[in-house]
């Protein structure tokens, strides 16, 4: 048999609440914002290319001693824009600014 008063015992040092619990708090609780990872502009887009283009890009990287794909792509863009006429360069710069 269980002893009498076991369930009704009071723990010493228990604190009685001074205020009643309110289901709707009067203070607005602000949730912390999720931390965003550092995003770099050169890592925003992923390009999908065929295996043939990938091997050509790797060959350009080896020839010009470039480490990253974006360096090889930038090299190709610079080489392409050097061969443009003045009118095509203006059109290229306008298109680049507006896209």
Measured CA to CA in angstroms, residue 95 lies from 14, 71, 92 at distances of 73, 21, 5
Task: Give the per-residue pLDDT at 62.
Answer: 94
Rounded to the nearest integer, the mean pLDDT of the chain is 79
Could you tell me which residues come within 8 angstroms of residue 67 by beta carbon, excluding any fewer than 6 positions away? 61
pLDDT attached to residue 87: 94
Q: Quick one: pLDDT at residue 46? A: 81
For tokens 């043939």, the residue is 52
Give dist(CA 75, CA 61) in Å, integer: 9
Backbone angles phi, psi at 3, to 5 degrees: -75, 150
pLDDT at 1 over 60: no
- % residues pLDDT > 90 (the chain): 43
The better pLDDT of the pair 34, 59 is held by 59
């Amino acid at each position: 048999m269980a002893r009498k008063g076991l369930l009704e015992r009071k723990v010493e040092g228990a604190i009685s609440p001074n205020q009643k619990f309110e289901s709707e708090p009067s203070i607005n609780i602000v949730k912390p914002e999720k931390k965003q990872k550092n995003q770099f502009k050169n890592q925003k887009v992923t390009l999908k290319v065929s295996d043939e283009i990938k091997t050509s890009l790797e060959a350009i990287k080896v020839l010009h001693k470039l480490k990253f794909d974006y360096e090889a792509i930038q090299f190709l863009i610079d080489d392409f824009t050097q061969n443009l006429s003045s009118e095509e360069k203006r059109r290229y710069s306008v298109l680049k600014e507006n896209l």
